[in-house]
Amino acid sequence: MTASRLFELLIALLYLAGSITYPLGLLLRQSILKRLAIGMSVAAFALHSADLVLRFIELGTANLYHGQFYLNFLAWIFVLIFFVLWWRLKHDFLSMISAPLALILFSSSLAIRTQVLAVPKYFSALWFSLHVGAIFVSLALLAMAFGAGLAYLYFERKIKTKAKLPGFSQDLPSLETFDRANDWATRIGFPLYTISLLAGFLWASFTWKQAISWDPKELISIVIWFIFALLFHQRLALGWRGRKPAKTAIVLFVLSLISLVGVNFLLPTHHSFR
């Protein structure tokens, strides 16, 4: 096994350890285990950052045209957004969703190989920074809203039915904090998703001489945009809070997973990672 593979294996193991240790710390109500899990996530993120830098030193912008790099970078963005929301919300509960997703995406990136995409050189930097960068941050925010939404619905139901709450619930934030995570994802994620779509259509017009080719990826992205626009409007204009935005965020993330996995790997499309 090469040194680079050992390095990648170490990153995956740290994400795995963080994914297991944090929920274990919750169940056992051991703060030291939760701190250990966060520490391992920090270490994994630092090594992951170094891995991305080394890839660019080795291959340069050629990285940008590989599905393998996309999943690797998306995993890194997920963890970065977790740290940002941890800082803003003053709670580390989103580690429950960020570490497992980072593990899945990072491990998947090690297992796939893909063809090189033909991207016009004069447009590649703009395409990557706007289309790919914006969509990845938006997806990471949706992932955090997904986790917060599931927790909100679960604990709200427990409270309304006056069911006995599990012991670890005392170590989790309030329903308001879960709702704030959803609000952050919506306010920041939707504009970024919109920018990504517009940049993608512009890039397509340069690459394939038409903005929309009715590709499966484009169609599901447009559907996601309309639902995201509804959530954004209802949040800002009508003051949606609680169950409705939580359910909508869950639907959006599930559709995003279908787009990322089902479309990119299973359907014939020029966005394919195969």
Are 67 and 189 members of one domain? no
Are 66 and 137 members of one domain? no
**Total count of domains within the chain:** 2
Residue 24 burial (10 A CB sphere; 0-12, 13-18, 19+): middle
Q: Which residue, of 96, 116, 136, is where some domain finishes?
A: 116
List, for residues 13-35, the tens digit of each pLDDT value: 999 998 899 888 888 888 898 88
Structure-model confidence comparison of residues 162 and 152, the more confident one: 152
Mean pLDDT, the chain, integer? 80
Mean pLDDT, residues 38-52: 91
Which pTM value belongs to this model?
0.83
Are 28 and 109 members of one domain? yes
Q: Buried (b) or exposed (e) across 170-204, using 16+ Cβ within 10 A?
A: eebbebebbbbbbbbbbeebbebbbbbbebbebbb
Are 8 and 124 members of one domain? no
* Range(s) of the domain holding residue 142: 118-274
Are 53 and 147 members of one domain? no
Structure-model confidence comparison of residues 264 and 258, the more confident one: 258
- The rounded percent of the chain whose pLDDT value lies above 70 is 78
Distance CA 123, CA 240 (A): 39
Are 48 and 84 members of one domain? yes
Q: Which residue, of 86, 116, 146, is where some domain finishes?
A: 116
Are 105 and 134 members of one domain? no
Structure-model confidence comparison of residues 124 and 40, the more confident one: 40
Are 154 and 252 members of one domain? yes
